[in-house]
Amino acid sequence: MQHGHASDALTKNQALVMGALSEAGGPLSAYTILDRLRDDGLRAPLQVYRALDKLVEFGLVHRLESLNAFVACRHPGCDGHQFTAFMICDDCGSVIEIADNALAGRLKGLAQDADFVLEKSTVELRGLCAGCRPA
Amino acid sequence: MQHGHASDALTKNQALVMGALSEAGGPLSAYTILDRLRDDGLRAPLQVYRALDKLVEFGLVHRLESLNAFVACRHPGCDGHQFTAFMICDDCGSVIEIADNALAGRLKGLAQDADFVLEKSTVELRGLCAGCRPA
DNA sequence: CGTGATTGCGTAATGATATAACGTGTGCGA
DNA sequence: TCGCACACGTTATATCATTACGCAATCACG
């Protein structure tokens, strides 16, 4: 565990939280993560929140604002992490992660038009996924 | 107070909450709204949340997911209420509401490509507004 | 070396956001 | 008049997130 520049070496708690999210394959709340890691020694919410903060910073995890939940990134290491969009199925809860240049470009354009320095975007689409849409 | 089809007649609590948001001119949390309406007879969070639910339904108020707050709509009555985007200044907290057809179109296109039935979108851009950006 | 800065960790307490569950009243239409 | 839909009021509780404190390991650098 060296200088910890990014994701090259996670701490124990970070690795535990990352593991829980990867295994879940979908969004989890911080408290659900905590419950799943009780046997691994985690006891307090703060341990989970601290790990999540770092994982988000490293680009390994996304926060879903409209769900108050966290999900493992499907494209770790790629650019545009901060302009990722999500489709969230209101029926089954599945989350599809989308990296779209046209969308990112439009967001940047809107910001520029408004003389707004864009740091990060939250784009979350709610509806029904292909598997859940009525015939 | 008749059939209450939409915004044509707000109930007392709805009007109080709407008034508080309009007067604020910016985002307020549900609990802040409650505090400001104590003298008007509101006592419990649920009274505020119920009013907010209806106001959002009527298209008079937006929920800002990344802030856990609510803001009066600047374009009440217009279409595309559910595809509105927001720029939120991390410095001064100001919120700019944006209705952009190109953006809405791209979101709808992405949904269509994924066979996703899009009901609502959350688009919130974080950064620094024109007044707060460094020279 | 050694000392100060940084970072992660553990714990307890608290704060902030949101909903569940229950009962009341009122207007309206069958 | 009865039943339904809806808004309301109250209490309690659930859920999400942070503050505050202290300890230990690591690392840069004199």
pLDDT tens string, chain A, 135 residues long: the values are 333 334 458 999 999 999 999 999 999 999 999 999 999 999 999 999 999 999 999 999 999 999 999 999 998 777 788 899 999 999 999 999 999 999 999 999 999 999 999 999 999 999 999 999 987
User: Angle A42-A44-A46 (CA atoms, 0-180°, nearest 5)?
Assistant: 110
Closest residue by C-alpha to C1' distance, nucleotide D25: A1
Distance of B102 CA from C20 C1′ (whole Å)? 41
CB contact at 8 A, A118 and A111: yes
The tokens of B89 are what?
A: 């200044």
Is B26 within 7 A of strand D by CB distance? no
Is A45 within 7 A of strand C by CB distance? yes
B134 burial level (CB within 10 Å; 0-12, 13-18, 19+): exposed
CA separation, residue A4 to residues A51, A71, A72, A116, B121 (Å): 13, 22, 19, 32, 36
Distance of B5 CA from D22 C1′ (whole Å)? 59
In chain A, whose CA is at the least distance from the CA of B104? A103
Q: What is the ipTM of this complex?
A: 0.92
B51: nearest nucleotide, CA–C1' criterion: D7
Quick check: A66 and B127 CB within 8 A?
no
Quick check: A122 and B65 CB within 8 A?
yes
Residue with tokens 């001064």: B92
Domains of chain A: residue spans and CATH: 12-127 (1.10.10.10)
- Nearest CA among A95, A6, A11 for reference residue A57: A6
pLDDT of B28 over the 70 cut: yes
